[in-house]
Every structure is written in structure tokens, then in C-alpha cells.
Amino acid sequence: MIVHTQKPADTFTLAHGRRLALDRPLVMGILNVTPDSFSDGGRYLDSHAALERATTMVGEGADLIDIGAESSRPGALPVPAAEELRRLIPIVRAVCRQVAVPVSVDTTKAVVAEQAIGQGATIINDISALEADPAMVAVVARTGAGLVLMHRQGTSPTMQVKPQYGDVVGEVRAYLQTRMEMASRAGIAEDHIVLDPGIGFGKNREHNLALLTRLEELLVLGRPLLLGVSRKAFIGEVLGRQTDERIWGTAAAVAVAVLRGARIVRVHDVTAMRDVVRMVHAIHEAR
């Protein structure tokens, strides 16, 4: 098995003067405050349930919490900014007061990012890589937030219809490079950036598997990689499993991702994936 040999940059600089050491792979726990997310939609809509879920995930070993209020599953409808703010901001405020780990916000809207950072969030996870809202780049630059730049082909309503690539890994790498350069030109220093190939975002099963198995080819970009494989459709396709039956498939994908160099894995099942990550890291370090 090929394992990563290149040492990815190991600091992630965040808003509010915080820094995250990435000298070991970290677990990002997912908190979806949406009615329609593909695997946990509707469960954490009320702020009490959301806060309890965030606290539980930190207790289980989550190193970061990622809060999102707009589902990006294929076919999901866009959420207006006012509704996203209404769902998200009280929960971001409560979670940031309650937990010590950094809070990331999964949004493509500048107004949402700005208010979330104002309430204590330190990372913006932008699945459009700053493309959806031209005002986003300035918010990130001004606040000094950490930034996740993710690749996707198409947007939610259509992205899984017929994704096409010549060389998926090469194209994702070139895209992430371009977006990182754009962010740099706008004043976002590289140590604020983490890159994500966007598993399942305009990619079929073969594309997702190729990205996972060739993940180390993205390390040449010189920034830490984040990967979101948790319970995703390609796992269901390989195994013939429903969403709530994909924990073992997720574990396998997380293990490969970490072995190939991912530094943050975004997951629903924190206890289980924390063990997977720690075990794989221990094996890798023994080389």
C-alpha cells in the first residue's frame, strides 16, 4: 500500500488568534442543523438538541465541530440567507460558548460567515471554494478565519447527474491550486487554508475511489487536506448499504484517507472514527 511520505504543513491559523496544530490527524464532528441533510436531517434543528450533540461529540474526542444549516446533498434546494442565519447563528453562539474546540461553519454566504465569526466561529468551510459569493473572500481575509477550500463540479441540484473528468485527480489538484492562488491574492495567507477534494460533489463512484486512493497526489499543493467521506453514497454503492449502515465502509475510507495524508476527517460517528484515525496514525508513525 502506498502511504504518504510528504510532510504536509502542520499549522492551521484561525480567526480570533487561534491556531490548530495538524501534527496528527484530527476529527471534525458534523453538526447539521438542517431539516434535510442526507443522513441526519432534522435531528438537531432545535438548539437544545444541537448543543447537546456538539457537547457529546467533543466528549467523544472531536477536535473540531463543523456546523451547517444548508444541506448540500444532491438535489437539495438552496436556503435563503435569512433562513440560514435563523437556523445557524443561535446555535453557533451557544456551541462556541460551551465547547473549547474550534468551531467551523459550513456556508457559502459572506453574511452568514461574518455573523458566525462574530459569534465565535473560527473556520469557514466553503464548499464553493469562494465562488458562490464574491463577498466571501473579503470576510475571510478581514477576520483571519481559517478557510476550507473544496472542489466540486456543478452545484447541488445537478452535480450528480453526469459528472465528467479526463483525469479527476489532476483536475481537482489544478482547481484547488487556482483557488488557493486567488485566495492568496486577496490577502488570505496560506497558513489559513486547508484543501478538500470534495468527495461526492459532482463525482461518481470511480471518481471518489480514485481521489481516495491517489490522495497523496494532492499533497504537492503544500497545504493540509480535509476529507469528508462519512456515510456518503459511494460507500453505499460499493457495499449495497443504506445511509445508517455505512459505518464500516466509512471506517475503511477514513483509514485510507489518513494513511494517504488527510489531516482532518469530517465525520458523523466521532467515537468510532476517532479510534480509526488514532490507530492508523500510530501504525503510520511506526515506519
Give the footprint of ligand HH2 on this chain (CB under 6 A).
30, 32, 34, 37-39, 68, 71-73, 106, 125, 127, 148, 150, 196, 198-199, 226, 228, 266
Choosing from 152, 179, 232, 274, the catalytic residue is 232
The type of residue at 134 is: P
Question: Is the Cβ of residue 5 or residue 179 nearer to ligand HH2 in the bound state?
Answer: 179
- Unique residue bearing C-alpha cell 508513525: 285
Report the distance separating Cα 48 and Cα 50, nearest Å.
5
For the bound state, the minimum distance from the C-beta of residue 215 to ligand HH2, rounded and expressed in Å, comes to 13
Cβ contact 226:194 at 8 Å: yes
For the bound state, the minimum distance from the C-beta of residue 51 to ligand HH2, rounded and expressed in Å, comes to 18
Report the residue closest to ligand HH2, judged by CB: 228
Active site residue 109: no
For the bound state, the minimum distance from the C-beta of residue 1 to ligand HH2, rounded and expressed in Å, comes to 23
Choosing from 179, 214, 263, 266, the catalytic residue is 266
For the bound state, the minimum distance from the C-beta of residue 196 to ligand HH2, rounded and expressed in Å, comes to 4
CA distances (Å), origin 85, targets 48, 89, 149: 17, 5, 21
25: phi then psi, degrees, rounded to nearest 5? -70, 140
Task: Of 30, 32, 26, give the one whose Cα is nearest residue 57.
Answer: 30
Cβ contact 13:147 at 8 Å: no
Active site residue 232: yes
Question: Is the Cβ of residue 38 or residue 234 nearer to ligand HH2 in the bound state?
Answer: 38
For the bound state, the minimum distance from the C-beta of residue 172 to ligand HH2, rounded and expressed in Å, comes to 12
Question: Is the Cβ of residue 163 or residue 287 nearer to ligand HH2 in the bound state?
Answer: 163
- How many CB atoms are closer than 10 A to CB 267? 29
Task: Of 28, 50, 43, give the one whose Cα is nearest residue 97.
Answer: 50
Question: Is the Cβ of residue 178 or residue 282 nearer to ligand HH2 in the bound state?
Answer: 178
Say how many residues make up the chain: 287
Which residues lie below 8 Å from residue 86, measured CB to CB, with a gap of 6+?
A: none
Q: What are the b/e assignments for 220-254, b being 16+ CB within 10 Å? A: ebebbbbbbbbbbbbbbeeeeeeeeebbebbbebb
For the bound state, the minimum distance from the C-beta of residue 198 to ligand HH2, rounded and expressed in Å, comes to 6
Question: Is the Cβ of residue 266 or residue 286 nearer to ligand HH2 in the bound state?
Answer: 266
Question: Is the Cβ of residue 34 or residue 204 nearer to ligand HH2 in the bound state?
Answer: 34
Catalytic machinery residues: 232, 266
